[in-house]
Amino acid sequence: MMKHKEFTITVVALGLIMAAAQQPAVAKKGGTSILHFLVRTTLNSTGVDPDASGSVNAKQNAQGNADNQRLQLVVANLDASTTYKLLATSLDETNLLEVAEFDTDTGGAANLKFVKKKTGKASPGGEPLPDGLIPLSSIRSLVVSAGGTQDVLVADLGHPDKLQYLIKRAMTNDGVDDDAAAALRIKATQSVVQFRIRASGLDPSSEYHLAINGDIAETDMSDANGNLNINSLPDGAPNVLDISLLAILDSTSNSVLSTSFP
């Protein structure tokens, strides 16, 4: 009887060990969503005021429930003691919208610092980030305007001087195939883009399409186990910062898995 009891305990323990060993794999399949976005670029004069100059430093770190964003604009050689407007475009809104205004000092300069923190009790170290700039990772241009009608300085955040961009997340199951799952990873600088999708639970040996911003960019086949690996952005794909929607479609163009940006 003792041997039988020891054997039962051993089997139960082995089952618990196996379950524990499998648990990280399950957690890893979804994982914590991560977004790191860092842009540094120049505010260029439009010619209205040839001596005007400036720079932009934008940063967003979002992971789990934390979402910290910081924007700094430094401008110089503008009109002294004058009110200017800050305009922006984004992935969602391509028209210029006024997001803030500021005054230059007696030397025609200004140093603007905006901060948004979702978690943490530390001092923000700046003015609250305007709603029109949230999230920073969606902003594609910034304009310093005189009176909102005359653009003086322009920054292209879609093609910055320096870029660090990282996205890691699970794609959303759109209900067409309950077993389907996928992990997305994008890592980009101003000159190099790494792009990867690992999908599983798809129909075996079946045709699927990768859609970018609603347009089919390439067609792939799942393997015999229903897995699909995409290891690079297709030729002709938009600039990585201009991607607002990714989707994996089945052969009849139903969205199986998707994610929107940022």
For residue range 197-231, what is the model confidence (pLDDT) as tens digits? 999 999 999 999 999 999 999 999 999 999 999 99
Q: Burial, 43: exposed, middle or buried (Cβ in 10 Å; 0-12, 13-18, 19+)?
A: buried
Among 160, 185, 205, give the residue marking a domain's end: 160
DSSP 124: -
Q: What is the rounded average pLDDT of the residues 234-254?
A: 97
Where residue 1 falls among pLDDT bands split at 50, 70, 90?
Answer: very low
Nearest CA to 134 out of 116, 111, 147 is that of: 116
Query: How many degrees, rounded to 5, is the angle at CA 136 between CA 159 and CA 85?
Result: 85
Residue 245, amino acid: L
As for how many domains the chain has, the answer is 2
User: How do residues 37-62 score in pLDDT, each as one tens digit?
Assistant: 999 999 999 999 999 999 999 999 99
Does residue 9 form part of some domain? no
Whether residue 233 has pLDDT greater than 80: yes
What confidence category does residue 69 fall into, taking pLDDT thresholds of 50, 70 and 90? very high
Residues 139, 170 within the same domain: no
* Residue span of the structural domain in which 195 resides: 163-260
Mean pLDDT over 8-37 rounds to: 51
Same domain for 171 and 153: no
In a domain, 17, yes or no: no
Among the listed ranges 3-12, 79-88, 105-114, 154-163, which one has the minimum average pLDDT value? Answer: 3-12
- What is the torsional sign of CA 247, 166, 30, 15? positive
Which helix H or strand E contains 84, and what residues bound it?
Answer: strand 83-90
- The answer on 147 and 38 residing in a single domain is yes
Query: 147: part of which helix (H) or strand (E)?
Result: none
Residues 154 and 213 reside in one and the same domain = no
Provide the pLDDT for residue 12.
39
Q: What's the pLDDT at 140?
A: 97
Kindly state the tokens that stand for 62: 């979002």
Residue 125: is its pLDDT beyond 90?
Answer: no
Banded model confidence at residue 122, pLDDT cuts 50, 70, 90 = low
Question: Is it the case that residue 35 has pLDDT exceeding 50?
Answer: yes
Are 69 and 127 in contact by the 8 Å Cβ rule? The answer is no
Mean pLDDT, residues 94-116 taken together: 97
Is the pLDDT assigned to residue 118 strictly greater than 90?
no
Q: Mean pLDDT, to the nearest integer, of 12-23?
A: 38
* Backbone phi, psi, residue 9, to 5°: -60, -40
Whether residue 51 is found in the same domain as residue 147: yes
Q: Which CATH number covers residue 217? A: 2.60.40
Residue pLDDT, tens place only, 129-145 = 999 999 999 999 999 99
**145 shares a domain with 200:** no
Name the helix (H) or strand (E) containing 23. Answer: helix 2-30
Give me the pLDDT at residue 11, please: 38
* Any domain includes 92: yes
* 3-class DSSP state of 239: coil
Q: Determine, yes or no, domain membership for 49.
A: yes
The pLDDT mean for the chain works out to 89
Closest CA to 165 of 66, 22, 14, 36: 36
Percent of the chain with pLDDT over 90: 82
One domain for residues 45 and 111: yes
Q: Please give the pLDDT value at position 24.
A: 34
Confidence bin at 14 (pLDDT 50/70/90): very low
Is the separation of the CB atoms in 167 and 35 below 8 Å? yes
Q: Indicate if 147 and 46 belong to the same structural domain.
A: yes
Residue 110 and residue 104 in contact, taking contact as beta carbons nearer than 8 Å: yes
